[in-house]
Amino acid sequence: MAIYIDELQHIFHLQSRITSYVIQIVDGFPLLVYWGQRLSEKGNLAKLVPGLEKTELHAMPQEYPQYGTGDFRSPAYQVQLEDGSRITELRFKGYSVAAGKTALEDLPYVYTESVHEADTLELELEDAYSGMTVLLKYCIFVDGAITRSVQFKNNGASNIKLLRALSANVDLYGKSDYEFVYLAGHWAREAHLQRRPLGPGGTSLGSRRGMSSHQHNPFAAVVSLGTNEDHGEVFAVNLVYSGNFHAEAEVDAFGVVRLGIGLNPFDFCWVLPPGESFLTPEAVLVYSNEGIGGMSRIYHRLYRNRLCRGVHRDKERPILVNNWEATYFNFTADKIEAIAETGSQLGIELLVLDDGWFGKRDSDNSSLGDWVEDRRKLPNGLRDLAERIERHGLQFGLWFEPEMISPDSDLYRKHPDWCLHVEGRRRTEARWQLVLDLSRPEVRDYVYDALAEIFTNVHVAYVKWDMNRALTEIGSATALPENQQEIAHRYVLGLYKLLDKLTTAFPEILFESCSSGGGRFDPGMLYYMPQTWTSDNTDAVERLKIQYGTSLVYPVSTIGAHVSAVPNHQVHRETPLKFRGDVAMSGNFGYELDLTKFTDAEKIQVKEQVAMYKEHRSLIQKGDLFRLRSPFQGNETSWMFVSDNQCEAIVFYFQVLAKPTPATDILHLKGLNHSYTYEVSGESGVMGSFGGDRLMQAGLIIPPLTGDYTSVWFKLSAIQ
């Protein structure tokens, strides 16, 4: 890993172990002349793109293109000056290079723990007319990822309005046969894999909901034609942000693909007074020439080790039971303790008390914001319940929805202006709730104090932080008219300030993010909360697609996955307990049902599932994931986890529907050491010893499976 600079040719070469990213300054404009497999050359990298000195802006592969001076493609940024003009022209002014990586103020970011892990390049650009300067910040990590963010500074004498500010722009020059890969869905069917050819024109995705959304994840990739899990080139971008975002791939008349990601410019305007700066969220760029699977493993290692933080980053995550689908709002302290007692017998480690424990919360139409225990349900309070749970050997966890307020609440009656709203306009309710205005410090202080009071007096080991609606009427009672279009972004910045304060004050608490499931599954939230509730849909068949899609970018250690009761509460499907357990074990494992209703036979099966997960938890949560069969392409799904030293692996195989007279299925494994011999054991015992090359090239024979919704797993251990 290094940054090489050719002063004569004005070339900056960012080099890691697997990739090179080469920028050349031409006529004052920074151009991307190469991004791809690692180049070993340290010297002359000129003419990677021929004829640039004679090329007009509309055909240049620009790093941070502007509007209004000859490039008619989508710009990376746009500003409006005091005279009403929207024309700027950023030209190269200087650069700096440093070892390591610095923090981003008020924003989540990928970090380093040693200066040897990454190098940083900053290119300074200036618009001479307005005095505005722009810093393009690059950081290249030894394992290949590149982070990018942009800082605008107003050095002039008048306000500047920032109308568009992407975090990264990449012009892929020299190829035209690409496909666009992204994740899309809805509530209860998040992160479905999408893939489409790119042709002339633009393909865009994003969110205008004030959250990263169920509909689109802040991730996009451009892949060469025919790219699969193991082969082909991938150019991917992912935004470390939890609010409105925009990603776009535009193909111009010359076949150049412009890939960009950043804040959504829709309804965005940031007033930048003289002397002040604006910093965009960080984008994480990943190149892989080993297909989509290679891309995934780069993201996984980086996010698992250098995005997630705190004492829980490297700890094994607890197996939990959540009472929501067991009781909904109708519970007593005795009922919760009974679930914990049964959980203790089964080896479960954590009980989470979900919605309904506060205010007068007997349904979802009241009490959000009133974070005071309901003594009708909990006569002796939360502390007593937590102690009762702990006496059974389980930790105690608690559900909150701190960003919301119910119109039927004491807080709303006292502070009706604390929600996002526009005076004189209807306040749109969703789930009978409104959204607190976290851009206001006094609102954040209230939420912090209310939660800190509980955390100080009750031993809470885990928090499920929910957020169940999008933002509407995005306005703030205390903001000036000219700043109202900043509120969506200021809301997210306020949320980050609140989370930073809470996680700093209570580092021992394991926070899990949730937004009606996966509505805010993004790197921004993972910086504060190292795991996310992946979907409210716990049906095992649906979860195959949801967890597979989510794993394209996010490590398994961040994916919450539970076994729920049947018929499933979302799709009303009945699947066997074993199938549900095997699917849920491919994530942060838990149960979301009434444990006391299990039969004796089911309890034995659950106890075995829990023991199995504990045995392989470290491998599943920290190993390399290899996807073997896609639920988006057939009836079978399979994936496997391999340890860093390739000495251990576990393989899961799922069959959704039975087939008449099926052919023998052979599964080709991945990620093993070709020269190792592995003992392979299944649920019925040892199957034999096989070479790693044989298991990957000739494959592993899958025993016949009987019936719908069946699954099997295999353990591999290298023979020393």
Beta bridge partners of 260: 169, 248
Write down the residue that tokens 């993972």 correspond to: 526
Per-residue b or e along 188-218, where b marks 16 or more CB atoms closer than 10 Å to that residue's CB: bbbbbbbeeebeeeebbbbbbbbbbbbbbbb
Distance CA 523, CA 328 (A): 30
CA dihedral 291, 296, 299, 302 (to 10 degrees): -100
Give the type of residue at 31: L
Which residues have C-beta within 8 Å of that of residue 225, sequence separation ≥ 6? Answer: 177, 178, 179, 197
The half-sphere exposure of 719 on its side-chain side, counting CA atoms within 13 A, is 10
The answer to whether the CB of 22 falls within 8 A of the CB of 3 is no
Using H for helix, E for strand and C for coil, what is the string for 88-148? CCCEEEEEEEEECCCCCCCCCCCCCCCCCCEEEEEEEEEECCCCEEEEEEEEEECCCCEEE
Phi, then psi, of 391 in degrees rounded to 5: -65, -20
The answer to whether the CB of 58 falls within 8 A of the CB of 171 is no
Alpha helices in 598-710 (DSSP H): 600-622, 692-697
Using H for helix, E for strand and C for coil, what is the string for 60-78? CCECCCCCCCCCCCCCCEE
CA dihedral 303, 305, 307, 310 (to 10 degrees): 140
Can you say how many angstroms the Cα of residue 400 is from the centroid of all Cα atoms in its chain? 20
Write down the residue that tokens 């932080």 correspond to: 465
Distance CA 166, CA 108 (A): 16
143 an active-site residue?
A: no
Q: Which of 127, 171, 355, 536 is catalytic?
A: 536
* Angle of CA points 632, 638, 639, to nearest 5°: 110
Q: Which of 71, 171, 466, 665 is catalytic?
A: 466
536 an active-site residue?
A: yes
Find the largest Cα–Cα distance for the chain.
79
Torsional class of 548: left (φ above 0), alpha (ψ -120 to 50), beta (otherwise): alpha
CA nearest 586: which of 603, 563, 565? 563
Alpha helices in 274-430 (DSSP H): 291-306, 324-327, 333-346, 381-391, 410-414
Alpha-carbon radius of gyration of the chain: 26
Distance CA 544, CA 709 (A): 11
Distance CA 81, CA 67 (A): 13
Q: What is the torsional sign of CA 47, 52, 58, 62?
A: positive
> Is-cis flag, bond preceding 481, omega within 30?
no
Would you name the residues annotated as active-site residues? 466, 536
